[in-house]
Structure 1
């Protein structure tokens, strides 16, 4: 009987004792990009000293991403150390749960994210954009860090949709707590050895305090909503709908599950949108010809009125700007999984138990799919151009059965917000380059300042 010999993955060169540990720590995205350029679409990367060395298989092709996330997803699970740290900090919600827990949660939550339901949030999004623009105008703001401003906006928008009128308290706690807890998760998730969280070190105690603050604000809001009951004004916020989600098969969420869903929605629901909007404004500020086309479309379609969900199909170029931004700056720049059984990806052997990372940052720049990949060109996302590419040449929302449940909401929020800002302002970039790195999501290593010029048209 003939046997098939699978190729061994090429290894990225590193230091004799520590491998690529410092490369990954200092510039993981650049390291992954270099691995693909030097060795191809599946590369073995070692990091750490002998005995506790970690090995990860970087997967960079569209076909490989499709296999890991979709066609062979049952063999690639969220069993790695990073996801365990996420579970311990943010709970076992949709982002982190697996197996029957995940399927039950998804069935309960899915009706809350139908297109019709999500379209109903357009007015709340527009209200928050209007508040932001009014703050800029009343404060005489001329220069803003668009990444910071879009993070603030997206957090307020998702908090309003989750909590209704209870926005300010939640935003204040989350804005302060999330970055600290995210850094803690990242440090532990990528460390070869961790001390127990229960040990009273300064880092553990600080993280525990932040963790408590996040849980307490969610618990207070959930308890208040249950005590006061549903009113016409509050009836459509997502927290109320989550609390009322129920089926004969799956029951309903208990208090702990409800809190964990809320935390995951706050985390995943604002960072993706904030990244897309912030970098879209920065890129438009650097490319006046693209900005001019976007302004023309917004003016022609909206004629000064506030956009709603029904306008999304009429703003294709604004949508293309956002999609091209998500190609160059995907919020989920790298997605980790662990192989259950030995398999192969693109003809390369992947052993059972191996950690695998699909890296959209690299796939979105892969020369097989993208000509002049560093160029900002929204025309890459015309319907004809999209149809000509492999499905997973672009996957900013993940893919397969674990694809982001909120991707329609993110696009709705992003298109409405970008269109409304372009109605009122011409944007010129001051910082021409913004260094980025990969944490839980894509993070900026510096400001993205833009000059805002009120439009008279």
Structure 2
């Protein structure tokens, strides 16, 4: 392969480069850049003196190199991840090196398939409550974006906090949007005032963080105070139990355990990553099914046949292959993490182009999962793309909504379990008809719908 030191890219405006295009519609800008310039594209953005360079990689092979085979050279050292650390703590999403390895080792036993399958009852209980509320929906219409966000938040908060879910959820609903917008704004700004300056934005975010941290710290302290008497199986209780085991073990000294602030960091990251991503996948799966009656009927028939009117359990996941295909196709078209950022440590050759040391780099599931080299008629909703045998001829990283390599999402199985079981229950109870046929989106910390995705509900026909 010939190596080129000159990476092609859009010229942009004379003084600001592609800054406005990336701010206005980064996802559309990346799609257009791939069509015009190929699989490795260089953007410049910002005024002289504050200008940044960004290298975007769109091929599956390039994504695999950055996230997996050459992952040590592409680190989470960029400004955006630093802002997330400052707002949500140094948990698994943001930590690096020994911190990350230690956290992953301590957290992994809580995310085995057997352990995660034990969370199914929390998911189905919360979904049952949602379906009860839908029975009195005004005009029989619901916004699946709002509904799935609340469902996913309540499910993950219940798994994290157990019986304290009712105390935690209102605080998260109130504080997360404030902190998220603040983090996003700072992450994309070339210059930011210090966080301790008393600007209106800093003060609003600080108040939201104080309230959110406060409720987490209170619940954590209660779990730790309960000691061995703690009876629950929520994640906080399990983390506190693991901390005590590490303190008592000669092999695992206290330096191998998570202290109270580190437990809070993990909780905040799980709240962020565990509800916004799953909510996005669920909302767009329902939105797409509401627009495609034939696929919706097939998915419902599978759910009704397997469940026969009973509440699904974890073991049903493998018996619902078409629902899984629907979810994977929704995640292809609407990946919850549409863009993944890294920073290059040393020069690297990706797809024949040199990316210099110190450069900010992104891979984009939003683009790669629409790449015509891997996906025929890529904008069409077609769950058959994930039928048995259909994936064997595609590159591994043609579909990577959970990231990949050593930093792949630890909660993959939980997200799939929660989403498929919830979809099965919703489709068994209701037929959905799309009211909003187009739902614009943009890239925040996760993929963000810019408007409602309303669906009209009809009770599903019973055989």
TM-score (norm 2): 0.96
- 1:428 paired residue number: 433
Deviation at 1:137, TM superposition (A): 1.7
Question: Deviations along 1:201-244, whole A, 9 cap, x unmatched?
Answer: 11111111111111001011111222344667x42101111122
- Give the secondary-structure state (helix, strand or coil) at the position aligned to 2:159: helix
Distance 1:107 1:140 in 2: 48
TM-score (norm 1): 0.97
- 2:69 paired residue number: 71
Distance 2:455 2:138 in 1: 14
- 1:287 paired residue number: 292
TM alignment of 1:172-251, pairs within 5 A: 172-229=170-227, 234-246=231-243, 247=246, 248-249=251-252, 251=256
Question: Deviations along 1:13-63, whole A, 9 cap, x unmatched?
Answer: 211111111101110000000110000000001111111001100110000
1:320 aligns with 2:317: no
TM alignment of 1:65-144, pairs within 5 A: 65-138=63-136, 142-144=140-142
Bigger mean CA offset, 322-331 vs 238-247: 238-247
- Give the secondary-structure state (helix, strand or coil) at the position aligned to 1:215: helix
Distance 2:3 2:236 in 1: 53
Distance 2:354 2:71 in 1: 17
- Whether the aligned pair in 2 keeps the contact of 1:109 and 1:245 (CA below 8 Å) is no
- Whether the aligned pair in 2 keeps the contact of 1:159 and 1:167 (CA below 8 Å) is yes
Distance 2:313 2:449 in 1: 30
Gaps of 5+ in 1: none
Which of 44, 49, 52 aligns to 1:51? It is: 49
- 1:301 paired residue number: 306
- Whether the aligned pair in 2 keeps the contact of 1:230 and 1:240 (CA below 8 Å) is no
Which of 332, 335, 339 aligns to 2:337? It is: 332
- Number of equivalent positions: 454
- Give the secondary-structure state (helix, strand or coil) at the position aligned to 2:389: helix
TM alignment of 1:382-421, pairs within 5 A: 382-421=387-426
- Whether the aligned pair in 2 keeps the contact of 1:7 and 1:348 (CA below 8 Å) is yes
- 1:358 paired residue number: 363
Distance 2:425 2:271 in 1: 23
Which of 353, 365, 374 aligns to 1:369? It is: 374
- Give the secondary-structure state (helix, strand or coil) at the position aligned to 2:163: coil
State the superposition RMSD in angstroms.
Answer: 1.4
Gaps of 5+ in 2: none
The 1:230/1:296 distance shift into structure 2, 3 A limit, reads farther
- Give the secondary-structure state (helix, strand or coil) at the position aligned to 2:457: strand
- Whether the aligned pair in 1 keeps the contact of 2:3 and 2:349 (CA below 8 Å) is no
Distance 1:375 1:452 in 2: 24
Distance 2:344 2:137 in 1: 53
Question: Deviations along 1:91-119, whole A, 9 cap, x unmatched?
Answer: 11100000000000000000000000000
- Give the secondary-structure state (helix, strand or coil) at the position aligned to 2:342: strand
TM alignment of 1:252-263, pairs within 5 A: 252-263=257-268
- Give the secondary-structure state (helix, strand or coil) at the position aligned to 1:164: helix
Question: Deviations along 1:322-353, whole A, 9 cap, x unmatched?
Answer: 00000000000000000000011101010000
- 1:23 paired residue number: 21
Which of 365, 382, 385 aligns to 1:380? It is: 385
- Whether the aligned pair in 2 keeps the contact of 1:328 and 1:374 (CA below 8 Å) is yes
Deviation at 1:122, TM superposition (A): 0.6
